[in-house]
Every structure is written in C-alpha cells, then in structure tokens.
Amino acid sequence: MIVDEGNKLMYCELPKVGSSNWKRVLIKLTDPRFQDIRNVLAIRKPRKLEHYNLTYLTDYPVEERLQMLKSYYTFTVVRDPIERVLSAYRDKAFDEFRGGIGTGRRTYSFLQKRNEIDKFIDYDVESFHRFVAYLSARGPEVGAKGDFGIRVRHWTRFFDICRVCDVDWNFIGKVESIVEDAAFMLADVNLSSVVEYPYYRKATDTDQIKKYFTGLTKEGLERLYYTYQLDFELFQYSIPQYVWDVV
C-alpha cells in the first residue's frame, strides 16, 4: 500500500496493471518537486523509489496502520489474468524460460542473420508455454505467503498481494476501462483538477494473445485458470472465447 497522508489515500500496487502510472500520480500528489507538472509522464522511472518520497503502509506502526485502513480512501486496479500472465512473461520471465539469460537474444540474432526472424515467434511461444506449465505446477499458492520477490510478484495473484478480502475497498478499477475508472476515482476524491491519469494504450492486443496461447492444450489452459481462479472470480473475468478457440 502506497500512502498519501495529505489526501488520505492508499493505493495497493499490483505489478503489470499500470502501477507505474499510478505511482506517477501519487508522486505528483506527495512530492513538492512535481506539484506544478501537468503531464505526470514527465516523472521518469517511478519504480526507483529512492528518487521520490513515496511512503508505504509498512513504514507506520501497526496500530496506526489499522487506523489508516479504516479511515483512508483505499483503491487498486486489476487486469484480465490472461493478459497479465503474458505481460509478466514478456517483461520478467522470458530469459529463464527461453533457456537461460541471453539465450533468447542469441537465438534472435542467429535468426536475424539468416533472415528468418519470423521464426522467433514460434520459439518464444514454446517458451511461454513452459512458463504457463511452471505456474500451473507451482499452483495457486505461488507467492501467497508473502515471498513475492522482485519477479515473482509479477505473477502472484491479486488476491494475495493486496489481501483483497481483508480490506474495505473504496474503489477497484480495471485496466480495460482505466480511462473512465481513473477519472471516476479522482473525481470521487476531489482531485480531478489537480492530477489526471495519463492516457493508457492497451499493451497486449488480441492478436498477440492468440499467438502466444495457440497450441496450449485445453487441459493446460484449465490448469492456468485454476491457478488464478480467485482473481478470475473475484473480479468477474473469464478466459476469452478467442483463447479457447486457439488451444
């Protein structure tokens, strides 16, 4: 939970769900150096917390945390688990599942020299399928005990990272409708005139999702659903039909 004491806000940061932009919003609200900027995208590298003055709930004594959870405006944003798994692979897991650090880049270079770069997608899809098998083998409890790590948190369930059933949330938005959801949330806390969430371009298009899920077995897709079942059901997501159609 990132805390904005001045506006009595708390945001639960979920990786691969546009969290960098929400950090930018909170940096503008809490760091005087950025009070006058109009476009929060001018705030570079929001993940480098040492550059900014973001405060986390864990920075406060336990009793104070409990009081803040009762009195602050709490919010988070979720995303279709299918899209998030693919995004997590492409951002944080690709090296290991392509055969080790640097292997993917060497394969890409090799194919590029042979003018066969179009074959790389087949290699990468196979690597993604290994990643899905890994997630399913680990089961729904991966990261559930708080052992998120820098990478693992990118594919840990929303349910576990934000303890979603233990917080009385004021607002839960979705990436799929983030423009409208962010505008509503900021209006709800009377901050629309102070800051706006930057324009969001959908990062993972349907054709790309189809490519990476093509060839995965139906059983494999069912196991992936089971792994993230709580996230699917709590936030009213389902595996899109176009994904079922390509497995």
pLDDT digits (tens, 9 = 90+) for 205-219: 899 999 999 999 999
> pLDDT digit string (tens) for 56-90?
999 999 999 999 999 999 999 999 999 999 998 88
Least confident of 45-49, 142-146, 222-226: 142-146
pLDDT at 198: 86
Q: pLDDT-based confidence at 18, cuts 50/70/90?
A: confident
199: DSSP letter: P
Tokens at 37, concatenated: 């900027």
| Residue 172, strand partner residues | 76
In the chain, at which residue ranges do the beta strands (DSSP E only) sit? Answer: 2-4, 9-11, 55-56, 73-78, 171-174
Helix (H, G, I), strand (E, B) or coil at 19: helix
CB 117 within 8 A of CB 111: yes
Residue 187 is which amino acid? A
pLDDT at 181: 95
Mean pLDDT of 129-142: 83
- 149 pLDDT exceeds 60? no
What's the alpha-carbon Rg for the chain, to the nearest Å? 20
Q: How far apart are CA 76 and CA 87, in angstroms?
A: 19
pLDDT at 53: 78
Mean pLDDT of the chain, nearest integer: 85
Tokens at 178, concatenated: 């983030």
pLDDT at 194: 93
- 105 pLDDT exceeds 90? no
Residue 237: burial class (beta carbons within 10 Å; 0-12, 13-18, 19+): buried
